[in-house]
Structure 1
Amino acid sequence: MQKIQTQGVHHITLIGADRQTSIDFWEGVLGMPLIFEQPNLDVPAENHLYFDPGDGRLITIFTNENRQPDPTPNPEGIGNLHHVAFNVSRATYTQVKKRLDERGISNSGEVDRGFMYSIYFRDPLGQLYELANYKFDPPLGVSHAEVLLLAHKLRVERGDYNITDAHLADAIEILVQRTTSSLSDDRSPKDPYRYGR
């Protein structure tokens, strides 16, 4: 028996209401370009919209002109989708609350998750979304997931409750030493100021 190895999210498809509500939210609020549309090939009475969330992958929405938006929060039972999170730059993140507030969109305000900052809000159909910004940039050639895996191991080793800036900084230092060569035999911390004291 062997696993089926995934290599990333290909696309996420959500059930939308009418076409214009979907375009107004995905492109008009979140800035995701509508890149193509066609009939839902499984349900000919529906339309299928395709949006680019910023990484070239796809968010797709099934729409039907007979469905009306319902802002009631989606159920949070076992097996239901809780939320979808999208990455935004730090510059964009600092503007999210203000821009949501200007539109009258209720939101959580900034939430510090230890390794990232988050803001939560609901779409016109009651689905919860998160706009997130990592607190760190991984070293060249290293993924965010690799930094988080090592930061988690450091957190557990130290008996800490959650990942903090210290775990991230230490993980990045270790990963730089693992992935970047140096002519120095000793890469331990040094005190170059000791002679001037």
Structure 2
Amino acid sequence: MGKILTHMTMSLDGFIAEPDDQIGELFDWYQAGDITVDNPSDDVVFSVDEGGAEVLHQLTDNVGALISGRRLFDIADGWNDVHPVGAPVVVVTHQPPSNAERWPRTTFVNGVEAAVARAREIAGDRDVTIASADIIQQALNLGLVDELCVSQVPVLFGAGIRYFGELVGGHILLDDPTVVEGRRALHLRYPVRH
């Protein structure tokens, strides 16, 4: 069975988007080099440095399913049913879109625990990545996350949508990070202590 990972790109002060959902300079690292990392989406091109390429491969090569919240899914218009990680998407929502058949590789479920269970089924022995801040927060509070991955970029937003919010059960302890320095991002992977 694979791991349950999280991954978001975050400003130095902890934000994954501006208050109006814009990402500003957060994704500059995806275009900060001359190494092209292939992905199945025709809409996305990754031209990163050596460190960024290493991280992208680590985060995508073994992903069997991706979990998203409905808000991110709507903002990205469902990634045209081809998320850049190349895996099927499980969307946590109370109300699937009326035209859900538009995204045949996407499954809509109610609740984070149900999403993790469904994503694990889809992924088999591969990893599951959670890529929505609110869903990550809920999964952390439920003790479902094995590893936190952060691509931290050198910008201060001052306000916006946080990667991490309020913890229900107190501190969550993490092991020492794996660190990959890249151009326009410092990539950190923290195993979660269970």
TM-score (norm 2): 0.25
The alignment's TM-score, normalised by the length of structure 1, stands at 0.25
Instruction: Point out the structure with the larger strand share.
Output: 2
Between 1 and 2, higher relative CO (CA 8 Å, sep ≥ 6) is seen in 2
Larger radius of gyration: 1
